[in-house]
Amino acid sequence: MGGIKDQEKIEELRNRLYQRGTSGVGNVHHSLSDEETPVPTSWDITKKYEQNQSEVPIPEAVPETYEPVLGGSDMKKNKKRGYRVKLALVGVIFFGIAMVISSFFLVFGRNSISGDNISLVLTIPFTVGGGEVLPMQVGIRNDNTVPMEAATLIIEYPPGTKSVEDTPRDLHTERIPLDTIQSGEFLNMPLRVTVFGEENEEKVIKASIEYRVQGSGARFFKEAEPQSFRVSSAPVSFRVDGLKRVSSGQESSHKVTIVSNSLTPLSEVMVKVDYPVGFEFVKSDPPPSSGQNTWIIKDVNPETQHSITITGKVIGQETDQHVMNFSAGIPNERDKNNFASVFANASTEFEIEPAFLDIGVTMGDESGESRAINKGDSTGVNITINNTLPYSVYDMRTVVTLSGNAFIDSGVQASKGGYYDSANNTILWDVANTYDFDQLRPGATRNIKFDVKPNSSIDSNPQVTMKIDVFARRVAEGQVNEELLGSVVRTVKVNSEVDLLTSASHGTQPFSDSGPVPPQVGETTTYTISSRIENGANAVRGAKVSMSLPVYVKWLDNTSGTGSFEYNQTNKTLTWQIGDIAENASASASFQVSLLPSTSQIGKTPVLVNDQTLTATDTFTNDSVVAENDEVETTLSREAGFGQESGVVQP
């Protein structure tokens, strides 16, 4: 506060000095005296200040060299700025000292910790066989002066790693709690896992440790040097057998054999096949586990093998090359249809060549892949074999394999030396029982025949399937014996047998009939016409019944039952629209008509409804189904209590 008051006094003095109208004070000259004047040896500042606190001293004269002081506001600013600079300087110095002291204690103090003082070493073998156990050692040493708390060992495994358990599980990242590692403590962690992979495939395992220190919520990490190993051998290997040349549309089989190379049992081995373009899967033994190209082998024991035979047809142009790829591995736990790791691959190539044996098959007079026949009928099958190669083939053999729910032994008759084997349901023609099968020259043909009659008592979708395989031997391409194969499949299907029944009644439900029975001239009698359809073994669609009324019968437009009726007044035609009828099901409906007899009809039995015709499409054979019923007269059923002359017109 003293400094501020002094500044105010100086400011007041300067204003007085520079005030207008103020006369200057002249210089006063004093003479010196020889008298001694007593001078105090100390200053009584406090007393002086208290006595003159309210006084403002004014000098009697101002030296000529005196320069005015700057304004008061500038001095205040300079004073404040200096104070702030000092304060900031003091803060910087204090912060720097604190940083130095804290760093010293962190690095050299008793509670310090550093990642450089933690040793983490992962040790694994350089090679391991696929499907075998991989032993590992993880060494951890804490050379810090404080414990590592909540420590967790983290192991990152490559794809295709499984745990060593009774029920193995996929391993991706494993976290192993270690709790607290004391200062100077050393841990040695032995681990065991099973690894899978392709032969000579290199894989990498990583290890790290996560921990905390006392008094801190932060987590620290230490990583070990990643270690790699090589899969020395695949746990399984492939062997693929199949034809190298096939004809377009010909069925061919490819057999893949999976051989175990592992010293330990394997479980859940997945085999997948990538088919070439144009390949059509037919069947396999065993059947696929998923879709048409995935198999799961539950257990593969050491030194065992498993085979899968895949049969299919390939469609393509001559000389086209096709490749079928096979892969084996362990399935992913999250997606069983994809691999977690692949440890074996194989492939087979084949090409499409011109058809060596052209097989033509006709059933009756039809040459399609299937033929529909009516219930109780039989059909003749004619097979024509043509050699399309530019050289002869020898020792020809033809095998027809019969199957289907309507096949019966008694329905087969083979001709021209064919032998039917009931044990295998096959018909065989070969050089032993067919004289001209020993050699088939280029362009030559052979014909064989047999008859088949399906079982007529089958209740649902009756059919007989005929697989026709033709084998022959050719000698070509460096005198290498080759067996050639041609194959076709044909089917005989049995149409549904549909029955149509129509009858007339009087005085029964659902309508109330009136008039005399037997009918009389000049009087109107009403009749109820009832139609019923009994369907057979196959469902039919679009079923309808067409009929017409005689000119003397009147349509009363009263209907009841399944479907709907459409009546044309102009031509007196009637259509009963039924629609779809399930297999072994029925449909029925009724309508009402009236008859007014004429004298020309006396003694006669008039017709109420002309012939009826049912048409439909068999959904199994895709063939047309037709059923017919004769005209319906006025004669009524004796079971309903009517006499023999109930339909004769009376005068």
Q: Is the pLDDT of residue 26 over 60?
A: no
Q: How far is CA 575 from CA 339, 497, 549, 608, 613, in A?
A: 62, 21, 11, 15, 10
Query: pLDDT above 70 covers what percent of the chain?
Result: 83
Q: What is the CATH number of the domain that holds 223?
A: 2.60.40.10
Q: CA-to-CA distance for 324 and 277, rounded, in angstroms?
A: 10
The stretch 409-427 carries a mean pLDDT of 90
Indicate the DSSP class of residue 317. -
**What is the predicted pLDDT for the residue at 38?**
65
> CB of 473 within 8 A of CB of 603?
no
- SS3 labels along 268-312: EEEEEEECCCCEEEEEEECCCCECCCEEEEEEECCCCEEEEEEEE
Angle between helices 2-17 and 72-108 (to 10 degrees): 150
The tokens of 145 are what? 């002066």
The stretch 286-306 carries a mean pLDDT of 88
- Decide if 32 is inside a domain: no
241-245, 305-309, 473-477, 549-553: range with lowest mean pLDDT: 473-477
**What is the predicted pLDDT for the residue at 347?**
85
Q: What is the CATH number of the domain that holds 398?
A: 2.60.40.740
Q: How far is CA 254 from CA 110, 127, 196, 283, 310, in A?
A: 74, 34, 26, 11, 5
Chain segment 57-75, per-residue pLDDT in tens: 444 444 444 444 444 445 5
Of the ranges 205-214, 414-423, 547-556, which is most confident? 547-556
359-379: b (≥16 Cβ within 10 Å) or e: bebbbeeeeeebbbbebeeeb
Chain segment 151-191, per-residue pLDDT in tens: 999 999 988 788 888 777 878 889 999 888 998 899 998 99
Please count the other Cβ atoms lying within 10 Å of the Cβ belonging to residue 211. 23
Please count the other Cβ atoms lying within 10 Å of the Cβ belonging to residue 569. 7
Beta-ladder partners of 529: 504, 591
Same domain, 601 and 556: yes
- Decide if 22 is inside a domain: no
Same domain, 603 and 549: yes
* Predicted TM-score of the model (pTM): 0.51
**What is the predicted pLDDT for the residue at 100?**
66
Q: How far is CA 448 from CA 173, 383, 421, 445, 514, in A?
A: 68, 5, 17, 10, 67
Would you put residue 376 in left (φ > 0), alpha (ψ -120 to 50) or beta? Answer: left
**What is the predicted pLDDT for the residue at 21?**
54
Sheet holding 499-505, edge to edge: 499-505, 525-534, 586-595, 553-561
Same domain, 299 and 385: no
> CB of 330 within 8 A of CB of 270?
yes
Same domain, 347 and 363: no
Same domain, 219 and 252: no
Q: CA-to-CA distance for 565 and 558, rounded, in angstroms?
A: 10
Q: Is the pLDDT of residue 50 over 50?
A: no
Dihedral angle, C-alpha 176, 177, 183, 188, nearest 10 °: -30
User: Which pLDDT band holds residue 28 (cuts at 50, 70, 90)?
Assistant: low
Q: CA-to-CA distance for 346 and 456, rounded, in angstroms?
A: 49
- Enclosing H/E stretch for 260: strand 251-260
What percent of the chain is helix, strand and coil (3-state, nearest 5)? Answer: 10, 50, 40
Same domain, 213 and 163: yes
**What is the predicted pLDDT for the residue at 405?**
94
Residues whose CB falls within 8 Å of the CB of residue 18, separated by 6 or more in sequence, listed in order: 68
User: Which pLDDT band holds residue 479 (cuts at 50, 70, 90)?
Assistant: very low
- Decide if 20 is inside a domain: no
User: Which pLDDT band holds residue 55 (cuts at 50, 70, 90)?
Assistant: very low
Same domain, 258 and 342: yes
Domain count, the chain: 4
> CB of 117 within 8 A of CB of 142?
yes
Q: What angle do CA 584, 586, 588 make, to 5 degrees?
A: 170
Same domain, 581 and 602: yes
Residues whose CB falls within 8 Å of the CB of residue 182, separated by 6 or more in sequence, listed in order: 142, 147
User: Which pLDDT band holds residue 488 (cuts at 50, 70, 90)?
Assistant: confident
- Decide if 397 is inside a domain: yes
Q: What is the CATH number of the domain that holds 348?
A: 2.60.40.1510
**What is the predicted pLDDT for the residue at 265?**
81
**What is the predicted pLDDT for the residue at 19?**
61
Look at 595 and 236; give whichever has higher pLDDT.
Answer: 595
Same domain, 503 and 636: yes
Q: What is the CATH number of the domain that holds 604?
A: 2.60.40.1170
Q: Is the pLDDT of residue 137 over 70?
A: yes
Q: CA-to-CA distance for 356 and 385, rounded, in angstroms?
A: 10
Q: What is the mean pLDDT of the chain?
A: 83
Q: What angle do CA 508, 511, 516 make, to 5 degrees?
A: 65
The stretch 580-602 carries a mean pLDDT of 95
Q: CA-to-CA distance for 260 and 266, rounded, in angstroms?
A: 8
- Decide if 267 is inside a domain: yes
Indicate the DSSP class of residue 511. S
Measured in degrees and rounded to the nearest 5, phi and psi for residue 641 equal 95, 10
User: Which pLDDT band holds residue 303 (cuts at 50, 70, 90)?
Assistant: confident
Query: pLDDT above 90 covers what percent of the chain?
Result: 42
The stretch 274-297 carries a mean pLDDT of 89
> CB of 590 within 8 A of CB of 560?
yes
Of 353, 378, 408, the last residue of a domain is 353
38-47, 316-325, 458-467: range with lowest mean pLDDT: 38-47
Of 231, 255, 277, the last residue of a domain is 231
- Decide if 136 is inside a domain: yes
Same domain, 168 and 213: yes
Radius of gyration, CA atoms only, the chain: 56
- Decide if 629 is inside a domain: yes
**What is the predicted pLDDT for the residue at 204?**
92
Same domain, 226 and 240: no
Same domain, 506 and 484: no
Residues in the chain: 651
- Decide if 341 is inside a domain: yes
Of 190, 215, 231, the last residue of a domain is 231
Range of 469's domain? 357-494
The stretch 419-426 carries a mean pLDDT of 92
Measured in degrees and rounded to the nearest 5, phi and psi for residue 387 equal -85, 110
Chain segment 331-384, per-residue pLDDT in tens: 877 777 888 778 788 888 888 776 677 889 999 888 889 999 999 999 999 999
Please count the other Cβ atoms lying within 10 Å of the Cβ belonging to residue 243. 18
